[in-house]
Structure 1
């Protein structure tokens, strides 16, 4: 009886191990985690970048362009790679910085993956650690973040990003961009500006401000004083909208497009495709119609929350723009996907 029980226990243990091994081997992984996993960790720099301008000509005068990754992820996906490449090639003499929470000041060298290897080919692109505590120090956001650390306040990645972009703009100035942009034109002539998402709402996916601008300080103060974790967009687009209305003493955005040194750009500047129409990004469009649509556009926002996972059909809007404005990322996508 004892021998039979022992055999049964060993059989059960063996089956359990096999089941666990099968799960580890075959369990599905998210697209975000799997996208770059099977790809080469390093890539030879494209020949098109061999004659890139000397780094000595790259400047942060007047601010830099910056992107944020407020999660712990340190694997730039193709969408982020395209955003950074398009910004880098339209601003060859401007420093483009990607701040990442997953990096620390001791993270040397950078993690080995395709995204880092490829983007490091651009002489004006750099990666930097994102330390929330240091960033929020000496800003109105410091107390809020202390409460978050003590679990006295809720937060999430989008809200963290809303806070970080304001703090960096306050301290350093420059141009902030979401990683779901394709940049089509140079943005350096845009200062103290916000883009309209609609007739009723501003959006912070693009922000361009001088350092220590009073408007940004008011945004940080509103962020804390009217903090609401539970309503999506309350700390982002809605915050910018209500602060701008107070700044200009208006009830409707259309009443003032510029006041007290801050301007709002029409929706075609960065949001020519409404978030409700995100599927149009993946529909076929003629070159002529695309040119007309984007005639007054600096950068196309892709509404990643809705559009991620969409099929990039040849001849679609997103396919044509990636091929033209982030051509090296486009080649890698075609090779790897």
Structure 2
């Protein structure tokens, strides 16, 4: 009996153990699953993927001219075709011994691939061909320019560019030419233009020649003008179709580069064809004008390239041309013009070797582009009449020129008694002609 009782108790203990195991089994499985999941997650977080070295691509071949001055470094960015120029302090250059024309050189350069022009770029491709088309007369450009300056015995050299038709060279542009000779009767004016270097162009300019003024228009030889500068690199890429000209007028950007190269090669004064010269520039040397300033600090906030006065081979012009070639963007208005000169001057200001002066807005840009139309309006009240008289006196006293801001005032009528009406009277040579609009 005792034995039966002991067996019964043992059976009960085994039954309880089995029951407990069955009860705890699901919980154990869940815990084990969570432990495995935690281990996997930790492994994926702390796993380090060591890259396998790939085959390095060879550096692109050096396709640029050689002998760049030692103050440049080219740093490659993420894009395979975009580069940034890192400028070091340039060697000291005296005011008298300016750098000779040198060929640029890079340690790393992009390899160009021909662009595939989309349908919307067809118009631009035709524009490129039109601008680049150069007749046989352009090949004698260097000789003709040399003879013109030498034989004319110029007291000052003025340059304009006209990348447009003869028909569009109208009253505004003719007044700009008149204003040059009204203030500088012994000056020489070279207009670099394919259209004006023609029979019809000679008819347009004949009245000035009949008065004995030293004026001529030559079809540009871009290859010669850009030779041995960064402009040559940019222009070759354009001709080969390896450069996107962008949506901004190519003629405008060609003019932006052409003025820099002309001054670098010859030295002198460049003015846009909507600049009205008020007084002599003869005492100005190595000058660029501010378009706007900070009224509190009196520091310039933006420069403009509508008026440039520089010596031949001036180092700042070299920097401008370099910046154009290396950072060209044909889709941003002003990027290759006013914004370009502003960027470069901001970088080089205070560095040895750059001798130039930034003149205040009153020198060449006495009116902001947003208010230029007010200069065409005559007075309607006594208050307006007083303001107009005071502003006109200020311009005559402080300004060397007035910028008409081209399209901003293109359709404005010159009202009697307006500031522009008085300026036209001050600066015209053929004053009998009617100029109700400029």
Match of 1:42? none
Kindly report which structure 2 residues correspond to 1:1-337, keeping only aligned pairs within 5 A, or say none: 58-60=152-154, 64-73=157-166, 76-103=169-196, 107=198, 109=199, 111=201, 113=203, 115-122=204-211, 123-155=213-245, 156-199=250-293, 200-248=301-349, 260-284=354-378, 286-328=388-430, 330-334=431-435
Structure 1 unaligned blocks of 5 or more: 1-54, 251-257
Aligned counterparts of 1:259 and 1:294: Cα–Cα separation in 2: 34
Q: Which is worse superposed, 232-241 or 144-153? A: 144-153
Aligned counterparts of 1:334 and 1:151: Cα–Cα separation in 2: 43
Contact 1:90–1:186 (8 Å) recurs in 2: yes
Structure 2 unaligned blocks of 5 or more: 1-148, 294-300, 379-384
Contact 1:73–1:102 (8 Å) recurs in 2: yes
Contact 1:184–1:298 (8 Å) recurs in 2: yes
SS at match of 1:196: strand
TM-score by length of structure 1 reads: 0.73
Cα pair distance change 1:150/1:102, threshold 3 Å: farther
Contact 2:275–2:403 (8 Å) recurs in 1: yes
Contact 1:103–1:130 (8 Å) recurs in 2: no
Contact 1:58–1:93 (8 Å) recurs in 2: no
TM-score by length of structure 2 reads: 0.57
Cα pair distance change 1:221/1:56, threshold 3 Å: closer
Query: How far did 1:135 drift?
Result: 1.5
Higher gyration radius (CA): 2
Aligned counterparts of 2:344 and 2:150: Cα–Cα separation in 1: 39
Query: How far did 1:121 drift?
Result: 2.9
Cα pair distance change 1:247/1:335, threshold 3 Å: closer
Contact 1:57–1:93 (8 Å) recurs in 2: no
Contact 1:72–1:100 (8 Å) recurs in 2: no
Aligned residues: 270
Aligned counterparts of 2:166 and 2:435: Cα–Cα separation in 1: 23
Residues 175-197 of structure 1 show CA distances to partners (whole Å, capped at 9, x for unaligned) of 00000011100001111110000
SS at match of 2:336: coil
Q: Which is worse superposed, 202-211 or 241-250? A: 241-250
Superposed CA RMSD in Å reads: 2.6
Contact 1:101–1:131 (8 Å) recurs in 2: no
Aligned counterparts of 2:202 and 2:314: Cα–Cα separation in 1: 38
Aligned counterparts of 1:57 and 1:71: Cα–Cα separation in 2: 28
Match of 1:44? none
Aligned counterparts of 2:276 and 2:407: Cα–Cα separation in 1: 15
Residues 200-256 of structure 1 show CA distances to partners (whole Å, capped at 9, x for unaligned) of 110000000000111101111111111111111111111111111111159xxxxxx
Cα pair distance change 1:336/1:176, threshold 3 Å: closer
Contact 1:88–1:125 (8 Å) recurs in 2: no
SS at match of 1:163: helix
SS at match of 1:130: coil
SS at match of 1:261: coil
Cα pair distance change 1:165/1:129, threshold 3 Å: same
Residues 63-111 of structure 1 show CA distances to partners (whole Å, capped at 9, x for unaligned) of 511111023446521111000110012111111111112255xx4x554
